[in-house]
């Protein structure tokens, strides 16, 4: 009996500890603030910006912002259908001035739109109406920005009605269809977004490929050089990759919604040239979660993500895993109070994880939450506190790195783990200019060949 009591006490402590690190910031109500969010957050260092797929005055979704402590919720836009789109499934992206996004429906042909809006809710402009064959239809994913063009994909439309890859300028001009998906040869129906390494765009499709279970691909920003990197096959490597890829500068990481040993999804990595594929984890449903819909994020040590179902309550989980596939840890079992069935990805400000659930919460219309994990804090591998300083921080993009420990190199990564800057350090004081990148949270990583130290920087 004493042994049983000890086990119960340990389990109770673990459960309490997990919930103690969780904070619900908002229960969605519906008309007033939106409902059923399907996307993820972006941040300008002060507010989190997001969308809901439904709710608002017209029950067609909203754009909103909220502070990271849950205060100052502001609804920026009510989607209305024909005039400005409806049902945004993907996340927003910023160029430092405007927020850009897409809707799955609405617009002149009711096939979706591309739009931009100022962070204060003014300046809304519809950049494109999707119409089907000529430019795609029903986008599910988010846009990315390379300082000249916005890039995205649609799940349908194009010449074969299997989706397209496109680019467009931030003022709505210069639309160019880069690729029509065909099916077997190059995939079809992408629901995730693209990422870029500066030379290629990388993405995945839900279907198509040799086994009609989806593919991983890369393509140049001008539409040339398409290469299929992997055909998903099912049990061996997963199927139906619904999220997007992320990069740690060496490998690409992603998840599949189905497939793997238990047919409830996998976590994998692959080299950008298509070699080195490795399945890092097979989801098992009740034990750890299943069918992840969003993407992973990376903090330098762990990959973090959410599963849409599974866990103790069958309502989804939050988890972390190391890039080599070890140390998988279930951080939290979601439930009807916390929120259930997350479709988006997590966002990290270097201290907390932030996310949304599609349903659950007080009104069963979804929630906004944050979660604190001890390993989220940016990494200081050897606990060296005096390697370097950054000033000013927050910054407008121009800052000085002062180093005191013979540092050799600097890398700067965005919140998805993508390297956006890399240089050698030759002086004690190094001025860095990142005014061309969007506002938000970034990680500055420096080393002297032995020690590694990372600090968070906010560009606003």
Q: What DSSP string runs through 85-120?
A: BB---S--EE-SS-EEEEESB-TTTTS-EEEEE-TT
With the CA atoms of 314, 50, 169 and 414 taken in that order, what torsion angle do they form, in degrees rounded to the nearest 10? -80
Residues 6+ apart with CB under 8 A from 18: 331, 332, 333
* Rounded (5°) CA angle 446-355-295: 65
pLDDT tens digits, one per residue of 213-224: 999 999 999 999
Q: Where do the CATH 2.120.10.60 domains begin and end in the chain?
A: 2-371
The pairs formed by 380-388 with CB atoms below 8 angstroms and a separation of 24 or more are 380/453, 380/454, 381/451, 381/452, 381/453, 382/450, 382/451, 382/452, 382/453, 384/451, 384/453, 387/446, 387/448, 387/451, 387/453, 388/446, 388/453, 388/455
DSSP state of 258: B
Mean pLDDT calculated for residue range 54-80: 98
To the nearest 5 percent, what fractions of the chain are helix, strand and coil?
Answer: 5, 40, 55
pLDDT tens digits, one per residue of 31-59: 999 999 999 999 888 899 999 999 999 99
* 189/183 Cα distance (integer angstroms): 9
458: phi > 0 → left, psi -120 to 50 → alpha, else beta; which? beta
Cβ(153)–Cβ(139) below 8 Å: yes
* 145/168 Cα distance (integer angstroms): 10
* 457/336 Cα distance (integer angstroms): 35
Closest CA to 48 of 440, 459, 443, 374: 440
Taking residue 282's Cβ as centre, other Cβ atoms within 10 Å add up to 18
pLDDT of 410 > 80? The answer is yes
Mean pLDDT calculated for residue range 347-374: 94
The confidence band for 250, taking pLDDT boundaries of 50, 70 and 90, is: confident
Strand 246-247 and strand 227-231: pairing? unpaired
* 142/103 Cα distance (integer angstroms): 9
Q: Where do the CATH 2.60.40.3080 domains begin and end in the chain?
A: 388-459
Q: Tell me the pLDDT of the chain averaged across its residues.
A: 89
Report the side by side order of strands in the sheet with 150-154.
144-145, 150-154, 164-168, 176-180
Q: Which residue has the higher pLDDT, 163 or 378?
A: 163
Residue 391 CA from chain centroid, whole number: 28
Q: Three-state SS for 1?
A: coil
pLDDT on residue 318? 98
Q: Which residue has the higher pLDDT, 10 or 71?
A: 71
Which CATH class, in words, describes the domain spanning 2-371? Answer: mainly beta
DSSP state of 9: H
Whether the full predicted model's pTM is greater than 0.85, yes or no, is no
**Looking at the domain 388-459, which fold is it?**
Immunoglobulin-like (2.60.40)
Residue 451 CA from chain centroid, whole number: 29
Closest CA to 187 of 169, 166, 167, 160: 160
How many Å from the N-terminal Cα to the C-terminal Cα in the chain?
A: 58
pLDDT tens digits, one per residue of 258-279: 999 999 999 999 999 999 999 9
Q: What stretches of 141-207 show up as alpha helix (H) in DSSP?
A: none
Q: Which residue has the higher pLDDT, 385 or 311?
A: 311
pLDDT on residue 417? 60
CA distances from 299 to 176, 328, 352 (A): 34, 15, 11
Q: What DSSP string runs through 277-329?
A: -EEEEE--BTTTBB---S--EE-SS-EEEEESBBSTTSB-EEEEE-TTS---E
pLDDT on residue 283? 98
Mean pLDDT calculated for residue range 98-112: 97
> Tokens 């002149």 sit at which residue?
108
Cβ(88)–Cβ(106) below 8 Å: no
CA distances from 262 to 216, 242, 244, 307, 348 (A): 21, 17, 22, 14, 30
Bridge partners for 453 per DSSP:
380, 446
Strand 347-348 and strand 353-357: pairing? antiparallel
Closest CA to 354 of 114, 107, 112, 43: 43
Cβ(280)–Cβ(254) below 8 Å: no
User: Which of 63-72, 93-102, 266-275, 420-429 has the lowest average pLDDT?
Assistant: 420-429
The confidence band for 400, taking pLDDT boundaries of 50, 70 and 90, is: confident
């Amino acid at each position: 009996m004493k042994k049983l009591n000890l086990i119960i006490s340990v389990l109770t402590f673990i459960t309490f500890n997990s919930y103690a690190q969780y904070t619900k910031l908002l229960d969605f109500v519906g008309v007033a603030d939106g409902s059923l969010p399907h996307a993820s957050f972006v941040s300008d260092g002060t507010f989190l910006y997001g969308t809901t797929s439904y709710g608002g005055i017209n029950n067609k979704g909203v754009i909103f912002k909220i502070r990271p402590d849950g205060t100052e919720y502001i609804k920026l836009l009510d989607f209305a259908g024909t005039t400005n789109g409806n049902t945004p499934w993907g996340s927003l992206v910023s160029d430092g001035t405007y927020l850009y996004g897409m809707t799955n429906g609405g617009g002149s042909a009711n096939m979706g739109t591309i739009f931009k809006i100022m962070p204060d809710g003014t300046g809304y402009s519809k950049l494109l109406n999707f119409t089907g064959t000529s430019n795609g239809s029903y986008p599910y994913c988010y846009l990315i920005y390379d300082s000249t063009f916005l890039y995205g994909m649609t799940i349908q439309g194009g010449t074969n009605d299997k989706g397209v890859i496109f680019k467009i300028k931030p003022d709505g001009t210069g639309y160019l269809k880069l690729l029509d998906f065909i099916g077997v040869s190059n995939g079809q129906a992408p629901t995730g977004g693209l990422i870029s390494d500066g030379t290629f765009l990388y993405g995945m499709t839900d279907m198509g490929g040799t086994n009609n279970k989806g593919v991983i691909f890369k393509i140049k920003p001008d539409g040339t050089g398409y290469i299929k990197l992997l055909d998903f096959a099912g049990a061996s490597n997963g199927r139906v990759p619904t999220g997007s890829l992320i990069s740690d500068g060496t490998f690409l990481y992603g998840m599949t919604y189905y497939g793997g040993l238990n047919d409830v999804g996998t976590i994998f990595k692959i080299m950008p040239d298509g070699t080195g594929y490795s399945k890092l984890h097979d989801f098992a449903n009740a034990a750890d979660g299943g069918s992840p819909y969003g993407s992973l994020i990376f903090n330098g040590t762990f990959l973090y993500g959410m599963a849409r179902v599974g866990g103790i309550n069958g309502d989804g989980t939050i988890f972390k895993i190391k890039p080599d596939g070890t140390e998988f840890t279930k951080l939290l079992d979601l439930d009807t109070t916390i929120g259930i069935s997350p479709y988006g990805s997590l966002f990290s400000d270097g201290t907390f994880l932030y996310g949304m659930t599609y349903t659950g919460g007080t009104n069963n219309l979804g929630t906004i939450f944050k979660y604190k994990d001890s390993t989220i804090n940016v990494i200081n591998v050897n606990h060296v506190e005096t390697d370097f300083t950054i000033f000013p921080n927050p910054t407008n993009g121009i800052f000085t790195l002062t180093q005191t420990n013979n540092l050799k190199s600097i890398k700067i990564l965005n919140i998805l783990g993508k390297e956006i800057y890399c240089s050698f350090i030759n002086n004690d004081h190094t001025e860095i200019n990142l005014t061309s990148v969007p506002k938000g949270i970034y990680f500055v990583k420096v080393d002297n060949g032995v020690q590694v130290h990372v600090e968070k920087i906010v560009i606003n």
